[in-house]
Amino acid sequence: MSPSPPEAPRLRTLFLAFSKIGLTSFGGGLSGWMMREFVQQRAWLTEQEFLGGLALAQAFPGVNVVNLAIWIGYRLRGGPGALASALGIVLGPMVVAILLASVFSTVGNSHRVHLVLAGVAAAAVGLSLQTSLRAARHAAKSVAQALVLAATFAAIFIWRLPLLWVVGVMAPLSIALAWRRIGHDVVEDTPP
């Protein structure tokens, strides 16, 4: 007997969970924090579900973490969950950002402040890298997918090709490979 999925969280719980993430993550790395919170700690989603949502969030226009919050909220509680999650991830940090901007205008020239911000940024990059490596592990399940991943990385990071051109070429290629694989898997699963 398979375990039953966890009960969907209440709207207030979603709002507070996303508020906590929005208020305690500094300098980026929010998607890594979200994965830790909602997959590993709360078990509201599986890692595969989360990474699928992350891929969708990155494909849509707008801020990736807000898109991801909306997707998670919608997945767990429908439209009201999407709204609660989006408000949770945005409202608290918006208020803090406004307050900090006013403070930073007076201490922004301090060398110590810049050192602290550099340290925060390094931690955020590490968290983002951890999430990226997990996503890459799930994305590269075949040689063809690994080659698409490597070619995309090389095109953007090494050869510094324009992002829109790389995505314009690699996304359709990746979709075609996945479509071909899905079609192949369906044929193999069909009884004779």
Residue-wise pLDDT for 29-65, tens only, equals 788 889 999 999 999 999 999 999 998 998 888 999 9
List, for the chain, all residue ranges whose pLDDT scores fall below the cut of 70. 1-6, 26-28, 184-192
Which residues lie below 8 Å from residue 14, measured CB to CB, with a gap of 6+? Answer: 73, 76, 77, 81, 84, 85, 88
pTM higher than 0.85 for the full model? Answer: no
Helix, strand and coil content of the chain, in percent to the nearest 5, comes to: 80, 0, 20
Q: How high is the pLDDT of residue 65?
A: 92
